[in-house]
Structure 1
Amino acid sequence: MPALHRASTILGLTAASSLALAGCASGPGPASGEAADGAIAVVASTNVYGQLAEEVGGDLVEVTSIVDSASQDPHSFEPSARDQLTVADAQLVIENGGGYDAFIDALLESSGSEAHVITAVEFSHSWPENAGHEDEHAEDEHAEDEHAEDEHAEDEHAEDEHAEDEHADHGHVEGFNEHVWYDPHTMAYVVEEIAAELAELSPDDAETFSANADALLAEIEGLESELAQLESSFGGAQVFVTEPVSVYLAAAAGLDIVTPDAFSEAVEEGQDVPPATLLEALTLLRDGEVDVVIANAQTGGAETTQVLDEAETASIPVVEFTETLPEGQTYISWMQENIAALGEALEA
């Protein structure tokens, strides 16, 4: 797994998400799909990654987020011909991977795109290919090996893996939680990679991308500190998640996920929860084994409703998280709100 390069001294701790949403388009820009004014054309599968790209690239990028609304489900999103045109003209594409936004892989293949591609799940310590790897921050492999040897130019882009066989490996992986944007640690890697890829596309602006990334990395470190504080106060508290979207954040706060795997997996796949599993879940709530319930505000079903009703009956606090970035938010402000809401629920 690529390691994160951090400057020994990160300046600009007060630099907020000021570059945030201004250039994060809700749809393609010019009809041709080309970026205006010489900006780097970036396409993100969702507005979560689009906003991070906008933070790092600022005015030097034009970002199009294909899924940018809470009413759109990336799992089942059906792209349009215009989306294909946008991807075809992109210079950098940022996807989640792991089967979450498979429509991006289809667009890359059908459009013949030669864009650089960042796949976020590949930076997660939980990604199967990274199994057994320790945190490589200290080794600074990301700076010393991958970018110094310019592997992206020599291997991935030269061989155009995305146009050939790599997409076949981006389907859902059994047992892997693909909602990696809820893991700030993984997002720090992704931010570093965005800066590196933009610098490769526009070397003259490398210092700008690096400075913007450093400011954002400092804010992500702040999120990790807030999660560490939650762990210090509430580590070991038991939480029930209706589906896996929030698991990384809860785990980073040292919380114990008690949801039966069969429950969250069924909800995630849009399937009926087995009756025995539903009974097991409701019993956990009735027996006082759960401190907080975390639900996905964008999806649900009959079984999820039963869990939420049972939580209300048992006076168990409920926190709702979303999958896509709420309007007017930055990634940092969004995660700060989620962490704060979780802390308030744990204190209740």
Structure 2
Amino acid sequence: MVKLKGITKITGLATSASLLFLLSACGSSNDTSTSKSDSSGKINIVAAENFYGEVAKAVGGDRVAVTDILNNPNTDPHDYEPTPDVARRVSMAQMIVYNGVGYDSWMDKLINADSSSKSKTIIKVADNVMGKKEGDNEHIWYNPDTMPKLAKKLAADLAKLDPSHAQTYQKNAQTYIDSLAPLQEKVQKLKQTSGAKIDVSEPVFDYMAKALNLEVNDQKFSLAIDNGTEPSAADFGQLQNDLKGKNIKLFVYNVQNSSPTVDNLLKMAKSSGVPVIKVTETEPKGKTYLQWMNDQLDQVAKGLSIQ
């Protein structure tokens, strides 16, 4: 996985050995009450990514205390190294929500090192909610079905931990799902009747592209960029032809990951008049998930000349 441009690798203050020791110490505590709830009686939830934490807060309401680990868009999710404080929070959590399929494998390590993890509710969104496996496209939050399904999963799991408030969690989940209606409506409005071809710098946007019936025409090239390898001459040549001949409707560009190769293609797209859609892998500061997705879909609407 390539390192994202402009995203900082956050290095923990402890070695792997000290993290293991810390987790072991937390997990062996005789006082298990803090692993279930904080001092106010709220269920402790740790979310690896802030956009998943947003759903947990919406569904849990005032019955939960949610900690987002990755809440800075300049933090590289692939290279993140948890601090002792993060390890402690994970150990003390009753519920953990993270992406899975290798995207945030550091969370797997924390959970595996925690002797109390078997008693926790663990939701790997890509694996448990969306049925993905290692090697599948990891950017599952770009699928417009992911957050509604996650909301329902959270409501069901919170109800198991706190049965007396099951109806509240279900109601909160539906309220959150309803709040995403503008996104679902925009997806349907922009959905192409026949597959329109696009090129992408890497497969960050692919799930949304599929929902819009946009066909990615450079999958081999984008996968090479995503894996940090050099695209083949044939794949690079095909993308150049797509851009120069305007054989595609859009060029989707992840602004957080660039290279001389991608930069040259970006210039080519602009000079050829191919609309460029700028996307990000992490949620922009100050944006909600809905605002983030809507901003990018607005670019698609403009690029496709859809009012």
Per the shorter chain, which TM-score range? 0.7 to 0.9
- Distance in 2 between the 1:88 and 1:126 partners? 26
- Distance in 2 between the 1:279 and 1:225 partners? 37
Structure 2 counterpart SS, 1:325: coil
| Matching of residue 45 in structure 1 with residue 4 in structure 2 | no
Question: Is the Cα–Cα contact under 8 Å of residues 46 and 89 in structure 2 kept in the other structure?
Answer: yes
* 2:139 alignment counterpart: 179
* 2:110 alignment counterpart: 107
Q: Which amino acid aligns with 1:95?
A: Y
Question: Where do 5+ consecutive residues of structure 1 fail to align?
Answer: 1-31, 129-171
Structure 2 counterpart SS, 1:324: coil
Question: Where do 5+ consecutive residues of structure 2 fail to align?
Answer: 1-33
* 2:212 alignment counterpart: 253
Worse-superposed segment, 298-307 or 38-47:
298-307
Question: Is the Cα–Cα contact under 8 Å of residues 198 and 209 in structure 1 kept in the other structure?
Answer: yes
For residues 157-196 of structure 1, the aligned pairs below 5 Å read: 172-173=134-135, 176-196=136-156
Change over 3 Å in CA distance of 1:65–1:254 after alignment to 2: same
Structure 2 counterpart SS, 1:62: strand
* 1:330 alignment counterpart: 288
- Distance in 1 between the 2:39 and 2:279 partners? 35
Question: Is the Cα–Cα contact under 8 Å of residues 52 and 331 in structure 1 kept in the other structure?
Answer: no
- Distance in 2 between the 1:239 and 1:43 partners? 37
Q: Which of 176, 180, 195 pairs up with 1:216? A: 176
Q: Which of 284, 290, 305 pairs up with 2:263? A: 305
Q: Which of 221, 224, 227 pairs up with 1:269? A: 227
- What TM-score, normalized by structure 2, do the two folds share? 0.82
Worse-superposed segment, 100-109 or 74-83:
74-83
Q: How many Å apart are 1:219 and its aligned residue?
A: 2.9
For residues 129-168 of structure 1, the aligned pairs below 5 Å read: none
* 2:16 alignment counterpart: none
Q: How many Å apart are 1:228 and its aligned residue?
A: 1.3
Question: Is the Cα–Cα contact under 8 Å of residues 42 and 92 in structure 1 kept in the other structure?
Answer: yes
Q: How many Å apart are 1:126 and its aligned residue?
A: 6.4
For residues 52-131 of structure 1, the aligned pairs below 5 Å read: 52-112=55-115, 113=117, 114-122=119-127, 127=132
* 2:200 alignment counterpart: 241
Question: Is the Cα–Cα contact under 8 Å of residues 47 and 96 in structure 2 kept in the other structure?
Answer: yes
- Distance in 2 between the 1:177 and 1:323 partners? 13
Structure 2 counterpart SS, 1:35: coil
Identity %: 31
Size of the alignment, in residue pairs? Answer: 271
Q: How many Å apart are 1:51 and its aligned residue?
A: 1.0
- Distance in 1 between the 2:201 and 2:145 partners? 23
Question: Is the Cα–Cα contact under 8 Å of residues 129 and 150 in structure 2 kept in the other structure?
Answer: no
Q: Alpha-carbon deviations, 1:285-339, whole Å to 9, x = none?
A: 1111121111112222222212211111112111111122222222222222222
* 2:191 alignment counterpart: 231
- Distance in 2 between the 1:179 and 1:300 partners? 17
Worse-superposed segment, 185-194 or 32-41:
32-41
- Distance in 1 between the 2:129 and 2:42 partners? 29
Q: How many Å apart are 1:180 and its aligned residue?
A: 0.8
- Distance in 2 between the 1:125 and 1:42 partners? 20
Question: Is the Cα–Cα contact under 8 Å of residues 129 and 153 in structure 2 kept in the other structure?
Answer: no
* 1:17 alignment counterpart: none
Question: Is the Cα–Cα contact under 8 Å of residues 235 and 253 in structure 1 kept in the other structure?
Answer: no
